[in-house]
Structure 1
């Protein structure tokens, strides 16, 4: 400490200002916040980051308004640098002022500049009513949008999130919500004033609304679990699109092994349902894989996993839901997931077992063909490594969106013996052509031979036993990884997404 009285006075003033900022909304508001079972903004950041790695900026922004309602800075997660912002609900309900808006822009700017992930922890009331001029207020979202596909972006909804602040979430690659979270264009008081509708924040945008609508990807019970899941999600990703995903050091769970259990999970009878999650348990490193958006578009499973220590993205049909038929929600979910995986060079493993796109008037009214086209465009435009297995069946457009398609630049394509492909299944085809019962039986026998006929003209690379699934995929992935002989760079996208 200096003996210079002027320096001493100046530094004491700095320390006092920092102390006021660190006090956030004050002891009373913090106690009320903690009483609801929530962590405060600074505690959330402390939970997210490795110990003693947080370097704050803009601490004194806002003057008497502590940090202007947004705690912002850089830190590390499992040693990897990240940018993080946390709205402070104890300070003017986490609302956005001019200084906070500038900090939000700076967070995204530094994330892209330093090529590191951006994490936003949200609980705020949107823009703050004020007579001050906010400048070009949407610039923070513009900066965040520029991060898309370049650095991983993640948000958490840990309380009510409204207006401009809420827009951060759908712009992110991945968003997770706690039990006390809610997200909406405008909160209940504004809705009441504007439309006369009297509604609670839970019914307006809580988990029961935001998860089925697809606005939010995942759910966890409390702040701690949400933040732990963010750490887990990011563990599969590189710091940016200028690097490849981190390979985990091999252990016993990453070794080659046979998967005979799949024979007991997947019936040879196409009409028998099973849980595809049990198949994932056998194929991928255990106990490891992380499902993304499990409550939306449930006919497709999207998951992050490791295969032999390599991070991969998994897109799998779920026979337990709609017999594996792909509806609009499932296709939309998969299209987004595929684009995120491709952006950050995660290999994609497709596990197909579906009777096609979901037919019917309701499905058509939801735009199933447009959504299917969106998924098809996403997977055909993907430049990352792609691997495919047909477990039992893949019909029509439902096979094409799952990368069962010639000349699609896959690393490997496999199928189980007896797997059936074609424009449609025997039952549907016989009904559509008014075929007699005898002809229907002929068609069924032809389906059983379909995999061998397809193998005869290299419709896929190899027929494999279910016991060989993990090892076949692992060896193909290891070979495909050798293509990474150039420096990673962001994916250039030129197609118009349907």
Structure 2
């Protein structure tokens, strides 16, 4: 640590030190540190850097082993010295070797400038290690202060990134930005949560303070196995594991397909009580990506949100969903898709942003999914918007179901008829086909069944039970390369 004066100042500022953060992240009393002597023996004229500004080791979260490293801002601004670089790579190496999750806690200035003045053997770095871990073990990054340069690059390479409200993340901090470009900007405006959680999507979730951020990291990991060689976790905690009718669902979902509603309220009602965990709630809002437990089984959920852009898939929403599906599939989580969208976002802005490419990526992600896939058409699904939500017939779904009032088609009958210059008789035929909705599709097994919405949870539990032998069997990583940033 950086000495009594610096530690007392942090305490006065209401900030935790690096080891306090590690202790809060891990189960009490489980942390075992390694590398404490690194940078303690120095060259003449050089001051020691305790643990080289990077306490690292292993412990447990929810009784399962994890590896953790934390940048220590009280020692040389948390900068990465040569020994710290070795420790960071050592953590990635151990995570791969022992098949356990890895957590980085970031608050540092990036690579230490004096590194260039020292001879150092040719060695790999932690960024290479993080890429190698992709899809093999869960990785989590928590940004708890200003993080720049090399350290900041860990965030987009890890499965899940969190920022506390006062944190910032950037390639280069304000002084370097001004020197290189002339732009004067405060660190929060340069790379705070309003930039990276809402606009860039580099960071997934924000937390009001560091304690909440660390609690969020713990919570995220409970939905995942320790590695891709294990099955998705099950929980016996709580009482809400069995079948129950969703009597409130008819109040939550308006029958009028043009009327918006909050899909989150439906999902909170659907999953086991208190287990709804949303990933990237502020980015790509037209699609909700969330984790939860259904009948005690960990599942990933991808759902259109009609309260945001009517649920139409824009570039951010599709990219968010694609990466989420890739990560869920890498760790064998069943994925539940709830479709209620008018299609892929149309218009010049969407085309310029690459909505087609993003939608294609989402489609490919769900197509190559090897874990159980369950589809629900809620009210509407048109064009490629249905395909990206795993509705295509015989697309390896364990279960494909629809609600009775759902409307379907290549495009809505009204706009489709207008585009095709349909006459009155042709328009009537298009309207009739659309009004046939799920029943016509189900008549050729495009859906396995049309169900009472109140039975949604019970039907999904039955589908998960059907797929249990596959979910609980022997597992290996699903692809040579896992999810990409």
Q: TM-score range by the shorter chain?
A: over 0.9
1:99-144 residue CA offsets vs partner (Å, 9 max, x unmatched): 0000000011111111000000000000001111344465211112
Q: Which residue, out of 293, 316, 319, partners 1:332?
A: 319
Aligned to 1:11: none
1:8-66 residue CA offsets vs partner (Å, 9 max, x unmatched): xxxxxxxxxxxxxxxx0111111222233221100000000111110100011011201
Q: Is 1:480 aligned to 2:457, yes or no?
A: no
Aligned to 2:193: 207
CA distance in 2, matches of 1:439, 1:493: 50
Q: Is 1:157 aligned to 2:143, yes or no?
A: yes
Aligned to 1:56: 33
Q: Is 1:168 aligned to 2:139, yes or no?
A: no
Q: Is 1:224 aligned to 2:211, yes or no?
A: yes
1:261-316 residue CA offsets vs partner (Å, 9 max, x unmatched): 11111122111111101110221111211000011100000000000000000000
Q: Which residue, out of 22, 25, 28, partners 2:2?
A: 25
Q: Is 1:296 aligned to 2:256, yes or no?
A: no
Residues 485 and 158 (structure 1), Cα distance of their counterparts in 2 relative to 1, 3 Å cut: closer
SS at match of 1:38: coil
Give the conservation status (yes or no) of the 8 Å contact 2:291–2:298.
yes
Aligned to 2:43: none
Q: Which residue, out of 425, 440, 448, partners 1:453?
A: 440
Larger CA deviation: 319-328 vs 488-497: 488-497
Aligned to 1:308: 295
SS at match of 2:145: strand
Quote the offset at 1:387 in angstroms.
Answer: 0.3
More relative contact order in 1 or in 2 (CA 8 Å, sep 6+)?
2
Quote the offset at 1:446 in angstroms.
Answer: 2.8
Aligned to 1:107: 91
Aligned to 1:187: 173
1:72-125 residue CA offsets vs partner (Å, 9 max, x unmatched): 000000100000000000100000000000000001111111100000000000
Q: Is 1:410 aligned to 2:397, yes or no?
A: yes
Aligned to 2:409: 422
Aligned to 2:225: 238
Larger CA deviation: 172-181 vs 129-138: 129-138
Quote the offset at 1:167 in angstroms.
Answer: 0.6
SS at match of 2:85: helix
> What are the equivalent positions in structure 2 for 1:3-402 lying under 5 Å apart?
24-63=1-40, 64-130=48-114, 131-136=117-122, 139-211=125-197, 212-249=199-236, 251-402=238-389
Residues 136 and 320 (structure 1), Cα distance of their counterparts in 2 relative to 1, 3 Å cut: farther
CA distance in 2, matches of 1:67, 1:206: 28
Quote the offset at 1:352 in angstroms.
Answer: 0.4
TM-score (norm 2): 0.95
